[in-house]
Amino acid sequence: MFFPRISPKKCKQCDECIHICPTKVFEKDEKETTVANPADCIGCESCIAVCPEDAITLEEI
């Protein structure tokens, strides 16, 4: 299983990860991009590749 995290300090709210994730792991709440559905992550690493701020890390658990 994979567990993606967003660094709040690095994230600039560009939403690229929301658009690229094939399993809709990320969502936007009132103020920030969040890892809303981490259990749906398949470890494809597309979000890491697309994030311009290097804000996403993927932990294998």
Q: Which of 56, 49, 61 is nearest to 3 (CA)?
A: 61
With CB under 6 A as the contact rule, the residue among 15, 36, 57, 59 that binds ligand SF4 is 15
Looking at beta carbons only, is 30 or 53 nearer to ligand SF4? 53
User: According to the binding rule CB under 6 A, does residue 12 interact with ligand SF4?
Assistant: yes
- Between the CA of residue 5 and those of 29, 38, what are the distances in Å? 15, 8
Query: If you ran DSSP here, which 8-state letter would residue 32 be given?
Result: S
Applying CB under 6 A, which residues contact ligand SF4?
A: 2, 4, 6, 11-17, 20-23, 25, 33, 41-47, 50-51, 53, 55-56, 58
